[in-house]
Amino acid sequence: MRIYRYFILMLMVPLLWGTPSCSLEEELYSTPTPEAIRTETDATAVVNGMYARFNDAAAFKFQGMLMLMLMADDLYSDSGSEYGPWGQRTLSGVNTASFWNQLYLTIGHANDVIKLMDDRQFSAEFEKRIYGEAYFIRAFCYYYLVRMYGGVPLRLEAVDINSNFYLPRSSVDQVYTQIFEDLTKASIRLPLAKSIAAAELGRASKGAAQAFMAQASLTYGNQLSLKGQDPTLHYSNAITYADSVITSGQYELLNFADLFDITKETNAYNEVIFGVRFQTDNQNRAQPAAGSEFALRFMAPATVGVTGRPNTSGAANIKPMHWFADFYRTGDYALGTGNTAILDFRNEVSFYLRGKNAAGNTVVMYPDTTLRSNTARVAFPLVGKYKDPGGKDERNHGNDLFIIRFAEMYLIKAEAENELRGPTPVAITAFNEVRKRAQRANGTPRAVPVLLPDNNSGNLTKAQFRLKIFHERGLELVGEGQRWFDLVRMQHPTDPSKTMYEYQFKEELPQTKYPKTLPVWRPNVAPPRWSNSNAVYAPALNVSVPKFLLFPVPTSELLQNPSIGLRNQNIGW
């Protein structure tokens, strides 16, 4: 896919619109123009270039990854440097420009593709699919923008010299209206997933458009509910579209371990509905490469054989909080305690529990207290979903970022049904589908996670079941960039005007039962153990509300766009 990035420069004006601070004096040679795009092969290259924007360092490869992974309550970073503003909660509008700009560049690219289809004549089936992909990508970008920044400028046409370069912020409602319109157009034009060739994995399908329609409907319904408005239509739509995907016959729940096995990644797309594809890049290295960095960022320096780094170890820039790892060793997710507990199989996949160091000795990660000779210990948990020992270099791996999976369709259906009617048999059955897959483990069934009785004999309230769904999503989707979105959209357990973010950050985690000093290994006590458990990385609590319910609009946008201006920054920033 990397070679198609050259086609991204097909029009100069849209690029300059997306990056207003770029110099106008640079002369571009041999830049493809719309007139040069004449065949379906040419147009396909342009479309592939549109997708390639997502694996740029400004987007999901690095800068976007930091925003999505480090502002929730499950992951943290004490690495400093580029991680510091997120880990220490000291970010500003200077830090949020890269992802904003890349999403708008991609929107500009999608608008160019739509205009290209308007101006050219290709076969009907080809045009239908390309239009669908352009509408899908535009909706996808606006969906990220509206959730992260609130109301944003809506640009829906290709830019030319007569365009208005300074659009005001549209309302959140207007942006969601456009997202739903584009996803509807995409859904009726895109092919079914199973008709897409393996070589085209990563391109949008009908199921992808419907899956995002389900998720966006749920999210918008959540936002209406938080404002005291009627969310009924959107919760109903969430169920309708989730059911469309569930009954489509295009997807299935796979063995959870196989999903994140780099050698089985192509097959993973039997469950993955849409993902950002990364491929080990033999032409480039490090940040410019089309490969991903997740193996480097999530794995620890003490472990080997997990990345393509020269010494084959990770950097542990992004780590699960200790409380988060401890939580999923209790309650519905474990039988017994300590090292002999039977855990939810997803725990063994989502957290990297044991490895080897360069000396060949066993390395165990927090919270393991196993006593062995020649055992090294890592004092923090690790996300285990991203391992690629065959990567070309430290920032050049083949691990994809799965944006939305089939499992989430069941959780969306369960949540929307619960919001409408409480924990009905329909809601609980959908919820249990995800837990049943986890129980099947790696071929040996387990009794955890515990299934909920379909008739709700445990008498869960709507708020209690919502919290169950929140926790289930936490384990199922850890390290996949969903947690912050869940925190800011889901309702507080007891106050319908507040978010789950406020519950976790302002009420739950500040309690003394969550130590603010991270644990260390104590080998000289009997028995040897960690100094404490359930710890929270203290700087992560340095937040205020409503400030941290949105990211700040980039300072560069406020300064350069007079239709927005410095006075129209998000609250608190």
3-state secondary structure of 246: helix
3-state secondary structure of 413: helix
CA distances from 309 to 17, 256, 395 (A): 37, 26, 8
Q: pLDDT of the chain along its 573 residues, tens only?
A: 333 333 333 333 333 333 333 322 333 334 456 677 889 999 999 999 999 999 999 999 999 999 999 999 999 999 989 999 999 999 999 999 999 999 999 999 999 999 999 999 999 999 999 999 999 999 999 999 999 999 999 999 999 888 999 999 999 999 999 999 999 999 999 999 999 998 999 999 999 999 999 999 999 999 999 999 999 999 999 999 999 999 999 999 999 999 999 999 999 999 999 999 999 888 888 788 889 999 999 999 988 999 987 667 899 999 999 999 999 999 999 999 888 899 999 999 999 999 998 888 899 999 999 877 778 999 999 999 999 999 988 889 999 999 999 999 999 999 999 999 999 999 999 999 999 999 999 889 999 999 999 998 889 999 999 999 999 999 999 999 999 999 999 999 999 999 999 999 999 999 999 999 999 999 999 999 999 999 999 999 999 999 999 999 999 999 999 999 888 999 999
Task: Report which of 173, 18, 62 is spatially closest to residue 396, judged by C-alpha positions.
Answer: 62
Report d(CA 280, CA 290) in Å as an integer: 7
Q: Would residue 527 be called left, alpha or beta, if left means φ above 0 and alpha means ψ between -120 and 50 degrees?
A: beta
Residue 207's CB: how many other CB atoms inside 10 A?
27
3-state secondary structure of 473: helix
CA distances from 417 to 222, 243, 501 (A): 12, 12, 22
Report d(CA 506, CA 503) in Å as an integer: 6
Q: Name the token pair of 263.
A: 């050698």
Apex CA 218: angle with CA 350 and CA 257, to 5°? 20
Q: How many Cα atoms occupy the beta-carbon half-sphere of 110 within 13 Å?
A: 26
pTM over 0.75: yes
Q: Name the token pair of 359.
A: 């000396």
Task: Report which of 331, 328, 347, 341 is spatially closest to residue 458, judged by C-alpha positions.
Answer: 331
Task: Report which of 193, 191, 182 is spatially closest to residue 135, judged by C-alpha positions.
Answer: 182
Q: Name the token pair of 216.
A: 């966006």
Report d(CA 563, CA 259) in Å as an integer: 45
Under CATH, which number does the domain 1-165 receive?
Answer: 1.25.40.390
Report d(CA 3, CA 188) in Å as an integer: 30
Report d(CA 496, CA 492) in Å as an integer: 6
Report d(CA 429, CA 309) in Å as an integer: 44
Task: Report which of 125, 177, 185 is spatially closest to residue 151, judged by C-alpha positions.
Answer: 177
CB 328 within 8 A of CB 412: no
Backbone angles phi, psi at 127, to 5 degrees: -60, -40
